[in-house]
Structure 1
Amino acid sequence: MPDDPHVAPSAAVAEALGVVHAYHARSKHRLERYAAGPETLDWSAQPDPFRTYTGAGVQLLPLGADALASRWQAVHRPGAIPPQPLNADTLGTLLELTLGLAAWKQAGPDRWAVRCNPSSGNLHPTEGYVLAQGLPGLADGLWHYRPREHALERRCAWPAPAVSSPRLYVGFSAVLWRELWKYGERAFRYCQLDAGHALGALAYAAAALGWHLRPVSIGHEALAALLGLDRDADFGKAEREEPELLVEVLAGGAASHTLPVIPPDAVWHGQANVLDHWPMYRWPVVDEVARASRRPAGVSEHASPADAALPPLQPAATEVRAATLIRARRSAQRFVRDAQQDLASFLRLLDALLPRTGLPPWSGLNAPVRVHPLLFVHRVEGLAAGVYVLPRSASAVTTLRSALSEGFTWDQPEGVPAHLPLYRLADGTTAKITRTLSCHQALAADCTFTLALLAEFDATLAAAPWAYRELHHEAGLIAQALYLHAEAEGLRGTGIGCFFDDAVHALLGLADARFQSLYHFTVGRPQPDARIASEPPYPDRR
């Protein structure tokens, strides 16, 4: 496949690009109508949020997060955390802080789980898989993670050759139906954002253990085979999973390894459970975009070089343990209206969104920087209310300036560190506007600031329809950084996937698809809800 966008794509790639562009346009919410979705929802018939494989052997994992001493500040200092050994116990901690349950919530008769990785509508389409070799305490093979029990179930075993050091890979897939059930045609976007959130959660959890991630470039078919997702007999009538991402987990300065190959004589175990026995709708356009955006074999990406001039990141001055903060992350349901945020914490949040070598979550995605926050500031002390932009790469300053409204000022506010490329585009109160743009949600007005994540759209997709997923993954990574850094500041965030796409673009003067808004995010002071009780995530394991 050509990497140069000026090279004409093949007929197959051009056809796939057409499908992706058509889907993106069709799945936009508009002021006059929402994207197609179900006409009614029966929450008692929600798809099962927990996938299991009946017949696969199960191994409980220890709960190690309480004993992990790493501080949140140390996570952002390369080399500050001594690497833990790779074994079944530390793998348990990694998964506990990535996809594990953070708490059980109850309001009246309703009870539900929240997890360390956020999800659109708390529907959790993301499934996790582990490929292990030579890991003490865990047999070699492919394992599926079960967050409800904090356990692994062994999907595949084979007589692997002995290795000199442990090897660990984590893969993510998406059960599209879990989001389709509620959101209809827009659901594919949310599944991709959720994959980015999960990748970010993994990167932060790995860093807390002194580990880092290496993204693995792998085509769709190869990843499906490696994770056992192409095995028709193992799914039967169960909902299928779409392979998304694969990363290698490395301890300290360990070198990367050659990806294991599952031999033809490998023994597979387990039958996937049916998540929804009475599906009411079908959304074929999502199947079409899933096929069109699958990554072919032989395609590699190269991440943008990090800016060597960036000073070390200085997160909030807190002594909180990383595990405590990660498990405390929640999506705010309401914000304290008219609450103020101090300028220093605001600038620290933005600084955390700049890619730095060796820091989470950016090591999780091997792709250029292509997503940039457009901010609507409501109530930040010392900063005028208005519209701002944070180009995350040097080249984006030029491309954004040429694409956005000619009437924007592009001033650099006083009191902002020289390395932070924050530009003020326009002054003025925008709370009512952002509420309208975010599907009339009060969160977008009551927060201290809200942002739209603008993706370099046309140029990125020019000859790479699979990059549609990557743009959403990057947006999810940015939002995951905001979630955790907001918690560290004593604030809270909430991702907003419902917004009126082209109304946002029109406000910004975007007349074409050079940039598209993929995700909105709000930060503010949370308003607790006394009606909701919280319970420990694994009460029977304590």
Structure 2
Amino acid sequence: MKAKYATTPFHKVHFPYLLSTLPPPSTASKLTTTSASKTLIPAMSFSSSSVSNPKQPQDPQDKDLHLQQVLKYHNQTKHQFTKYARGPHGLDWANQPNPFRRYAPAPLLPLLHCPTDNQTPDTPLYSSLFHSLPPPKPISKSTISQFFYDSLALSAWKTAGFSTWSLRVNPSSGNLHPTEAYIISPPIESLSDSSFVAHYAPKEHALELRAEIPSWVFSGFFPKDSFLIGLSSIFWREAWKYGERAFRYCNHDVGHAIAAVSMAAAELGWDVKLLDGLGYEDLEKLMGLEMLPRFQIPSWPVKGRFPEMEFEHPDCILVVFPNGVGEFDVNYKKLSLVMSEFSKLEWKGKPNLLSKEHICWDVIYRTAEAVKKELSIGDKFLVDPFQSSGICSESSYKGFTVREVIRKRRSAVDMDGVTAMDRSTFYQILLHCLPSGSRNGGKQKRSLGFPFRALPWDAEVHAALFVHRVEGLPQGLYFLVRNEDHFDELKKSTRSGFKWVKPEGCPDNLPLYELYRTDCRALAEKLSCHQEIASHGCFSLGMVACFNPMLQDKKVWMYPRLFWETGVLGQVLYLEAHAVGISATGIGCYFDDPVHELLGLKGSNFQSLYHFTVGGPVIDRRIMSLPAYPGPDVDA
């Protein structure tokens, strides 16, 4: 469970006082507040037959409207010291969405359960995957079972008092799990005699057979022993708790899922790459989601019974293929033509109802419409050679296997305020956060290292770090530049008094810079919605993305992808923390513009999109852990 809202009461903060020890910005910046919210309307009638799914416009003026919608959403959903983004007033527990989607009566294909005692002789060590991938294993019922078991399955059940809830390998905002997964695969012995599309059911650790497809679909597009993974989002699951900001969190979770899939694939010697040339309509057809009911987006937030609001928004398709096969091309135009035939398939099963009543935060769905991507016929599909990541403190890792790290990963609910890490461990964690791996003197920019290589764009996300308890490193504000082409612009855009010097002992291939020395624990806490977890760890950080130039240059569909990148980076931080014996937590609740003011950032060229904290966890002994399988027979 990732921290999203403050655990302490809201207080007004005199922000300039917190900045009194920092150098002034080069020019004055001004905080803004969101506009007054509209009243929630009790009800509005919907028509399940009415469709609000326009194609991406070709007119540049219409595309400008889409950019305006994205900027409106982003600014409207910022938290401020004086006001949080709009959300529900309290939690409607009677309508908490079911975290498990099912497609009854689609045939259920049970998967195998993997051993959890870590005695499997060929299970690689966690740290080894950053150096090289093991030899690829063939697709089989056993390997597909292991793949899902170590990526998107349940990891445990928790119980306290009369409450019981499940945890998963892939983390989720508020443990609400808006992300659904599909596999599109050639025939697999003991699972399906034909190529198929199936939905993954994590509670059962099974595949729901949605459709059988012609076996020739895979011929000519992908190497032998390849398959596709589709990810989609149910916005309602997050909006139930977080209101309008839910679109951000859903896309954080997509990024976490991409990294979780990449990690599980690597364990089996498989590589992963985003098929980002495909368009929204291609993804809908491929996952069978165009068959779900549609609804007309209202003009303002409304409350009522809207089951069609539980549709799945297709996010992305990943191709999983054997490591070391070399380069192969994907003809997106031909692949799209093949996918157009999926509309004619016999799709099995209907989705279960997740809640009896709903609140529709209209701005989420308008923004989702604005960022729908078209088919990119001219896009090139590139498979770069695997690039190993830097090493400076291999001894920091505890000798955990991949499964030990990814299945025992937990989101800390509190940090102890005592645990410290040594400087070499801190540097080692950050080396694995770099997109390009060890470049032999080359700049960090392209996504070549593991697991960032799944993303086809150059790194756009950086990290402003609040160092609290790192032995051998002064407390203060630091900055990790993950795309060194941005260095000059970052330095120019931030406060003129920042030092921008490499800290003592920093590896040459780690673009980490000290900005200002100060005890920033109270500052980090207040910026993260007054949550102590941001100040009680070893360090916390804000992920700062190249924002407006990216949306202008690469079109508005990059907006959710920036959040995906933060999610991939966050998943690395989760796993690295557990691999060195501590813990981590994602923080989605932070005060956006005050973070920018702290750094001296003005305008929208750079924006903070996600916060994180790493440190020694506080264990709640009142909560009992139960095995993931077999789990309690409840939807909790």
CA pair 297-265 structure 1, distance change in 2 beyond 3 A: closer
Number of residue pairs aligned between Structure 1 and Structure 2: 532
CA pair 434-304 structure 1, distance change in 2 beyond 3 A: farther
* 2:300 maps to 1:222: no
Q: 1:308: how far off?
A: 7.6
CA pair 303-263 structure 1, distance change in 2 beyond 3 A: closer
The equivalent position to 1:278 in structure 2, one of 354, 357, 367, is: 357
* 2:155 maps to 1:102: yes
CA contact (8 A) 1:234 1:272 kept: no
CA contact (8 A) 2:157 2:631 kept: no
* 2:582 maps to 1:491: yes
Q: Distance in 2 between matches of 1:162 and 1:338?
A: 56
- TM, length-normalised to structure 2: 0.80
Q: Distance in 2 between matches of 1:246 and 1:489?
A: 32
Q: Which residue of 2 aligns with 1:54?
A: 104
Q: Which residue of 2 aligns with 1:172?
A: 231
Q: Distance in 1 between matches of 2:236 and 2:619?
A: 31
Identity among equivalent positions (%) equals: 38
Q: Which residue of 2 aligns with 1:134?
A: 187
CA pair 24-265 structure 1, distance change in 2 beyond 3 A: closer
Structure 2 gaps, min length 5: 1-57, 296-305, 438-446
CA pair 379-274 structure 1, distance change in 2 beyond 3 A: same
SS at match of 1:396: helix
Q: 1:161: how far off?
A: 3.2
* 2:140 maps to 1:87: yes
Q: 1:288: how far off?
A: 0.5
CA pair 151-206 structure 1, distance change in 2 beyond 3 A: same
1:170-212 Cα shifts (integer Å, max 9, x gaps): 0100000000000000000000000000000011111111111
Q: 1:540: how far off?
A: 6.4
Q: 1:318: how far off?
A: 2.9
Q: Distance in 2 between matches of 1:519 and 1:326?
A: 21
* 2:183 maps to 1:124: no
Cα RMSD after superposing both structures: 2.4
CA pair 303-159 structure 1, distance change in 2 beyond 3 A: closer
SS at match of 1:271: coil
* 2:246 maps to 1:187: yes
Where in structure 2 are the equivalents of 1:315-334 lying within 5 Å? Answer: 315=394, 316-334=396-414
Q: Distance in 2 between matches of 1:434 and 1:426?
A: 14
Q: Distance in 1 between matches of 2:526 and 2:479?
A: 20
CA contact (8 A) 1:185 1:283 kept: yes
The equivalent position to 1:534 in structure 2, one of 625, 629, 632, is: 625
Q: Which residue of 2 aligns with 1:423?
A: 513
Q: Distance in 2 between matches of 1:126 and 1:322?
A: 23
Q: Distance in 2 between matches of 1:401 and 1:216?
A: 34
Greater shift, 351-360 or 369-378, is seen at 351-360
Q: Distance in 2 between matches of 1:485 and 1:537?
A: 23
Q: Which residue of 2 aligns with 1:152?
A: 207
The equivalent position to 2:465 in structure 1, one of 365, 371, 375, is: 375
Structure 1 gaps, min length 5: 1-7
CA pair 153-395 structure 1, distance change in 2 beyond 3 A: same
CA pair 225-387 structure 1, distance change in 2 beyond 3 A: same
Q: Which residue of 2 aligns with 1:340?
A: 420
CA pair 142-36 structure 1, distance change in 2 beyond 3 A: same
The equivalent position to 1:524 in structure 2, one of 615, 624, 634, is: 615
Q: Distance in 2 between matches of 1:74 and 1:373?
A: 25
CA contact (8 A) 1:134 1:166 kept: no
1:280-320 Cα shifts (integer Å, max 9, x gaps): x2200001100001111117488898998974586543321
SS at match of 1:230: helix
Q: Distance in 1 between matches of 2:196 and 2:504?
A: 56
SS at match of 1:135: coil
Paired letter, 1:189: R
Q: Which residue of 1 aligns with 2:52?
A: none
SS at match of 1:337: coil
Q: 1:88: how far off?
A: 2.0
The equivalent position to 1:414 in structure 2, one of 504, 521, 543, is: 504
CA contact (8 A) 1:342 1:381 kept: yes
The equivalent position to 2:348 in structure 1, one of 269, 273, 276, is: 269
Paired letter, 1:197: H
CA pair 522-264 structure 1, distance change in 2 beyond 3 A: closer
Q: 1:254: how far off?
A: 3.2
Q: Which residue of 1 aligns with 2:61?
A: 11
Q: Which has the larger radius of gyration?
A: 2
Q: Which residue of 1 aligns with 2:271?
A: 212
Q: Distance in 1 between matches of 2:184 and 2:559?
A: 26
CA contact (8 A) 1:134 1:163 kept: no
The equivalent position to 2:323 in structure 1, one of 252, 262, 266, is: 252
CA contact (8 A) 1:326 1:484 kept: yes
CA pair 159-421 structure 1, distance change in 2 beyond 3 A: closer
CA contact (8 A) 1:86 1:251 kept: no
Q: Distance in 1 between matches of 2:239 and 2:218?
A: 42
SS at match of 1:161: helix
The equivalent position to 1:32 in structure 2, one of 82, 87, 92, is: 82
SS at match of 2:464: strand
- TM, length-normalised to structure 1: 0.93
Q: Which residue of 1 aligns with 2:260?
A: 201
The equivalent position to 1:452 in structure 2, one of 531, 534, 542, is: 542
Q: Distance in 2 between matches of 1:16 and 1:529?
A: 46
Q: Distance in 2 between matches of 1:500 and 1:311?
A: 33
Q: Which residue of 1 aligns with 2:124?
A: 70
Greater shift, 504-513 or 18-27, is seen at 504-513
CA contact (8 A) 1:134 1:167 kept: no
SS at match of 1:120: coil
Q: Distance in 1 between matches of 2:398 and 2:524?
A: 31
Q: 1:92: how far off?
A: 1.1
Q: Which residue of 2 aligns with 1:515?
A: 606
